[in-house]
Chains A and B, each alone.
Chain A
Amino acid sequence: MGPGGIAAGGKAVLDSFQASLSQHKVSAVLKEKCSAHKVGCLGLCARDVLVEIQNNGSKTVYQYVKPDMVERIVTEHLLGGVAIQEWLVDDAYKNFYGKQIKVVLEDCGRFDPEDIEAYKANGGYTAAKKVLSSQTPEAVIEEIKASGLRGRGGAGFPTGLKWEFGRKSPGTEKYIICNADEGDPGAFMDRAVIEGNPHAVIEGMIIGAYAIGASKGYVYIRAEYPLAVERLKLAIKQAREAGYLGKKIFGTEFNFDIIIKLGAGAFVCGEETALIASIEGLRGMPRAKPPFPAQKGLWNKPTIINNVETFANIAPIIKKGAQWFASYGTEKSKGTKVFALTGKVKNTGLIEVPMGITLREIIYEIGGGIVDNKELKAVQTGGPSGGCIPVDQLDIKVDYESLAKVGSIVGSGGMIVLDSDNCMVNMAQYFLNFTKSESCGKCVPCRIGTKRLLEILTRITEGKGRQGDIELLESLSNDIRSSSLCGLGQTAPNPVLSTIRYYRDEYEAHIRDKRCPAGVCKALISFEILEKACTGCTACARVCPTNAILGEKKKPHKIIQEKCIQCGTCFDTCKFKAIKKGSRQEAVKA
């Protein structure tokens, strides 16, 4: 039960089940499937609410469940023993899972995340116990190094190596931090992991703390994720009571405890040094590196920061071995990666795939293709620091190196599918608007550079682009890239550069022809009613916010162009496809 499920009415469905079951006195354990999405566990959020029924050893899944369907499911399926065929998930559901390999998400949804006993019953905390009682910190680091695990927060730095730096850094007081400040718009992997399996993150942190020699850990988590915060708090409390956190944990001489710090809403705090400043109660501004946090971090002590997903990979690696983990993925990118597959794809949701899978497999096999069978235009990965990958690159492998080669990044795992209705200049403008707002303002290239990039992009979308603007964007982007202090500024131009690289013609259409090929940029489009198709139903006239549509009932309507604000409401409302989107330029000429 997460926001996805709640948005789709998951709570109402659960309540109905509870009511119906108590009425029939059925002894079924009603599991509130938990994770970021109600089906972060099951993954296929597009078909929420999903209900999984387990009885007599068989598993059945219903899709699009509504509260009024519950009574029939209980009486016919649970009591009568006959599943209701027409409500069951279809083949698309099977395809969705076919190519996935679940390591991090394996346990999400299998049991109640608010119950430590359930985690333990599934092998939980055995890895931490084994490490603490029988392995040296050096051996743990070697194991993680051998697995080839790289940071899942975006940059892909080898985790074992990072831990080794932390281990070798002199000092008795060290810190380990879990970065759960998932700020990328369009990404919700970390929230899903924490909501679905918080103990896995804690176990990973215990092992990491032991490896580097830290006695205190912090989880820096977004306040915008209230359910995740709540479950994490509960999990930490349970772990303390069980003796897995606190003094002499697992009966060894090792002391370690975790404190939760709530973020206050700043994207830049995903950057390590900014995150540290924020935990110290200051403005989240990055500082120059070196010294790296591994040498001088929180309160100037050696500090290791890893992402949620990275920590969630640790216990499985210890349990199943480095070789097992390294058997997935490519030469340089091992293991699996969780992605939030969203946008114009049929099966949106949370997926976990082996590194090295192709984008085509993700979109067409797992994702089931494009909504309304429209034309795929691009895949955006890496959020505001990433880029757009065009259709002709769909067969590239999804790993750190391959995505970098085409001008994007793996990033934290957002994967947004764009179709022919999306304008690439508008996308670049969208991301620059984001980075401009989130720039901390410390260094000039980022603070002023992103603002200038946005100004130029905005004027292009308004039809005021000038010859030479594309070249200006390119040279400015390269300057910002090379001279910004932190990762935010260094990667902020990526959306601009990658869209220019692959969709230069779209920029040119905006600048030279004052035309938006996708029909998105308002200043460049106009709407017109096709007389022949219009039935005079008046639906458009009723929704028009500026009363720009005139016409009598059952007679063709007309748009008064001077009054039209191009909001597109009529276009979305018309059921007869009688409204045509066209170029403003041509409308003016006519």
Chain B
Amino acid sequence: MEEKLEVILDNFIKNEGNLISILQDVESAFGYIPEDAVTWFSDKLDIPASRFYGVATFYSQFHLKPRGKNIVTVCCGTACHVNGSDKIIDGLKRELKLAHGEDTTEDGEITLEEVACLGTCSFAPIALVNGAVHGKAKADKMVKEIKLLRKPK
């Protein structure tokens, strides 16, 4: 971990970064913001860890917990909403049996995310499975997609 953090620190100094750019680098290196990384930077830069926490929880891009191996993203923009994106979310939630308030399955396989808008409104509703776009998505089809992810390879 330390090696990766050193690289991020170097980048921060060279490019006159800020708290957000550090967290963005940490997020992309680890997939989430590990507490240890924050403590490390807090010591190195003499910035209270609370400030990192404040910024990390303010922006939706940062995650404080590890995310699943597979990421399923459902767009909840207005165009998707009026075309029934909540049906997709309800269907996927039922299929994934997510605990209340959780977005990742217990086995850490799949994370279900909602995003505000992907800007692909003409194909609403939109869902992404590991970055692959599914336009004019339907609940039952997306449930099938998820079952494929679960299949042992």
Contact = CB atoms under 8 A, between A and B. Distances in A.
Contacts of B90: 567
Interface residues of B, number: 43
B35 to A, nearest CB: 19
B61 A264 contact: yes
A414 B58 contact: no
B19 A185 contact: no
A569 B140 contact: yes
B115 interface: yes
B117 A343 contact: no
A185 B124 contact: no
Interface string A335-358: 000001011100011000000000
Of A183, A185, A262, A265, which is in contact with the most chain B CB atoms at under 10 Å from its CB?
A185
A165 interface: no
Contacts of B123: 4, 7-8, 45, 48
A270 to B, nearest CB: 12
Given A7-B135, A545-B94, A281 B24 contact: no
Contacts of A465: none
Contact of B60 (A266, A343, A427): A266
Contacts, number: 135
A440 interface: yes
B78 A280 contact: no
B120 A3 contact: yes
A418 interface: yes
Given A223-B61, A262-B24, A3 B119 contact: yes
Given A278-B20, A422-B82, A283 B58 contact: yes
Contact of A46 (B54, B94, B122): B122
B120 A266 contact: no
Interface size class of chain A, counting residues whose CB lies under 8 Å from the partner chain: 35 or more
A464 B1 CA distance: 52
B72 interface: no
Interface string A415-439: 0101000100001001100100000
Contact of A188 (B21, B62, B119, B133): B119
Interface of B: 17-21, 23-24, 54-55, 58-62, 76-79, 81-83, 87, 90-91, 94-95, 115-124, 126, 133-135, 138-140
Given A46-B122, A187-B119, A266-B58, 11 more contacts: A185-B81, A185-B116, A187-B117, A267-B116, A282-B55, A283-B54, A343-B79, A344-B82, A416-B82, A430-B81, A573-B140
